[in-house]
Amino acid sequence: MNADHYARANKLIGLDPEDHKYDPLEKWAYVAQQLTKKLNAANDRIKQLRQDLTYSNKRIKELHEEINKAKEDK
């Protein structure tokens, strides 16, 4: 995302600087909302990846144990 995206956030929410209802605080509140949504999505993804990593490490450990057992049986 480029800086222009944030600089023109008023267009995203239908605010026109020429309009008397224009409020810069609304613009930045909207930008903050969008960034918060993206942060929450990223945090959810990180949580999922950590769970996947934990499962993968557990599975690797199980496979090592199976290999060691197979070597002993051989």
Over the stretch 35-69, which tens digit does the pLDDT of each residue have?
999 999 999 999 999 999 999 999 999 999 999 99
The range of the structural domain enclosing residue 47 comes to 3-73
CA atoms within 13 A on the CB side of 55: 6
4 pLDDT above the threshold of 60: no
The whole-model pTM stands at 0.59
Question: What percent of the chain has pLDDT above 70?
Answer: 70
Domain count, the chain: 1
Are 32 and 44 within 8 A, CB to CB? Answer: no
Helix (H, G, I), strand (E, B) or coil at 2: coil
Mean per-residue pLDDT over the chain, rounded: 84
Virtual torsion, Cα 40, 42, 44, 48, nearest 10 deg: 180
Helix (H, G, I), strand (E, B) or coil at 18: coil
Separation CA 23–CA 17 (nearest Å): 8
